[in-house]
Amino acid sequence: MISFELDVEDLADTRFALSPLHEVVLSLRVLQDPGLSALHLPWRRSVLGRLGGLDTGLLMSLVARRRTLPDFLTPAAGGFAPAFEEELAVVRRASAAEVRHDLRLAHAPDALPEALGDALAEEDAAVLGLRDAICELLRRYWAVAIEPLWPRMRLVLEADMTYRARQLALGGARLLFADMHPDLRWEDGVLHVDRMISHHRVAASGRGLLLLPSVFAHKPAPPVSPDVPPRLVYPSRGVATLWEAPPTPDPTALTTLLGATRARLLVLLEEPLPTVELARRLRVTPSAVSQQLRVLHATGLVVRARDGRQVLYRRSGLGDQLVAGGG
């Protein structure tokens, strides 16, 4: 069991953050052991076929047999939602001593995998070379496996944080942690994380608590080392919806929303056209078209520009999205 002692000041400094690097590292567990979460099997199947150019031996050696991960690969998020490259830059600054310590602690009591052990037995330069190789590998893995899906993941994670913030406002810390995970218990100012491999108690001592919802975490994941500031990765709500197929576009939805004339106008305005040409194509009067264009322009669905004596209209980016979503 791992416990965090949180006084009033620590609770006041309890905060949430998003971390794309945490998602990258935690997703390696699912790649290694598909039994951890059946929800992620569609993602896993789609990713495995795209890892051909990566050193998967080194990638998988980062996950210990007990599913623990080295702390230096998951630094505390800088700000609310740091970019992946910002977080990776922090990892690139890890010292040789930190890399050695965290890799050995994560894999203990087992021996280090061959891909890691040989480098850690060498001089500091070899350890730093291993660190840089891991960072480059994670960067390439991010681009293939996580980055294309990050906008969708972020929506799920932000929805979870909105829910948690409401729980905190309604019932304080007790309600905040009540349904986060069965392994979490809030008791007399102490947050207990049960069923942990490590056993230690950490006093926050004014450092607060950082909470990170995660798509790939299957249970609460505090740092392995007691020396790291209090931080807790926990399973996000709503993950079951993440890999669902998007609904089939309804071809009548755009007409239902805008009306038949405005919908037809928006579809036609894929290219810049003047009012007279639009009226000809729709077989209505120019004044009728002008009236509808004023509404579409006022709502940001079309843009206009003068070309000599004519005014040309075209769909805006928002209009493009609306037409695409309407099939």
Portion of the chain with pLDDT greater than 90, in percent: 71
Last residue of a domain, one of 212, 241, 270: 241
Average pLDDT score over residue span 256-274: 91
Q: Is the confidence at residue 326, as pLDDT, over 70? A: no
Indicate if 215 and 85 belong to the same structural domain.
yes
User: What is the reported pLDDT for 289?
Assistant: 94
Give CA–CA dist 206/6, Å, rounded: 8
Structure tokens at 29: 């567990």
Indicate if 80 and 206 belong to the same structural domain.
yes
- Asked whether residue 76 is assigned to any structural domain, the reply reads yes
- Smallest CA-to-CA distance from 128 within 149, 103, 165 is with 103
pTM of the predicted structure, to 2 decimals: 0.75
Give CA–CA dist 145/153, Å, rounded: 12
Indicate if 169 and 70 belong to the same structural domain.
yes
Give CA–CA dist 68/228, Å, rounded: 15
| CATH assignment of the domain containing 298 | 1.10.10.10
- Asked whether residue 305 is assigned to any structural domain, the reply reads yes
Give CA–CA dist 90/72, Å, rounded: 9
- Smallest CA-to-CA distance from 6 within 201, 170, 184, 163 is with 201
- Asked whether residue 25 is assigned to any structural domain, the reply reads yes
Indicate if 42 and 177 belong to the same structural domain.
yes
Indicate if 54 and 200 belong to the same structural domain.
yes
Indicate if 225 and 271 belong to the same structural domain.
no
Last residue of a domain, one of 181, 206, 241: 241
pLDDT tens per residue, range 67-125: 999 999 999 877 899 999 999 999 999 999 999 999 999 999 999 998 887 778 789 99
Last residue of a domain, one of 178, 207, 241: 241
- Asked whether residue 247 is assigned to any structural domain, the reply reads no
Q: Is the confidence at residue 327, as pLDDT, over 60? A: no
- In this prediction, residue 314 has a pLDDT band, given cuts at 50, 70 and 90, of very high
Dihedral Cα 78, 82, 83, 87, nearest 10 deg: 20
User: What is the reported pLDDT for 302?
Assistant: 94
Structure tokens at 320: 């493009």
User: What is the reported pLDDT for 246?
Assistant: 62
- Asked whether residue 206 is assigned to any structural domain, the reply reads yes
Give CA–CA dist 134/98, Å, rounded: 14
Contact of 272 with 312, CB cutoff 8 Å: yes
Indicate if 224 and 273 belong to the same structural domain.
no
Indicate if 173 and 283 belong to the same structural domain.
no
Indicate if 88 and 197 belong to the same structural domain.
yes
pLDDT tens per residue, range 157-175: 999 999 999 998 899 999 9
Number of domains in the chain: 2
- In this prediction, residue 247 has a pLDDT band, given cuts at 50, 70 and 90, of low
For residues 233 and 241, the model is more confident at: 233
Indicate if 125 and 235 belong to the same structural domain.
yes
- On the question of a cis peptide bond just before residue 109, with omega within 30 degrees of 0, the verdict is yes
- Asked whether residue 248 is assigned to any structural domain, the reply reads no
Q: Is the confidence at residue 209, as pLDDT, over 70? A: yes
- In this prediction, residue 248 has a pLDDT band, given cuts at 50, 70 and 90, of low
Stated length of the chain: 327
- Asked whether residue 193 is assigned to any structural domain, the reply reads yes
CB atoms within 10 A of CB 247: 7
Indicate if 137 and 79 belong to the same structural domain.
yes
What mean pLDDT, rounded, does the chain reach? Answer: 91
Q: SS3 of 188, please?
A: coil
DSSP state of 76: P
Indicate if 219 and 259 belong to the same structural domain.
no
The pair phi, psi for residue 287, each rounded to 5°, is: -65, -35
User: What is the reported pLDDT for 251?
Assistant: 66
- In this prediction, residue 21 has a pLDDT band, given cuts at 50, 70 and 90, of very high
Segments forming the whole domain that contains residue 265: 253-325
For residues 213 and 245, the model is more confident at: 213
- Asked whether residue 199 is assigned to any structural domain, the reply reads yes
pLDDT tens per residue, range 35-71: 888 899 999 999 998 998 899 999 999 999 999 999 9
Distances (CA, A) of 121 to 18, 183, 261: 35, 37, 73
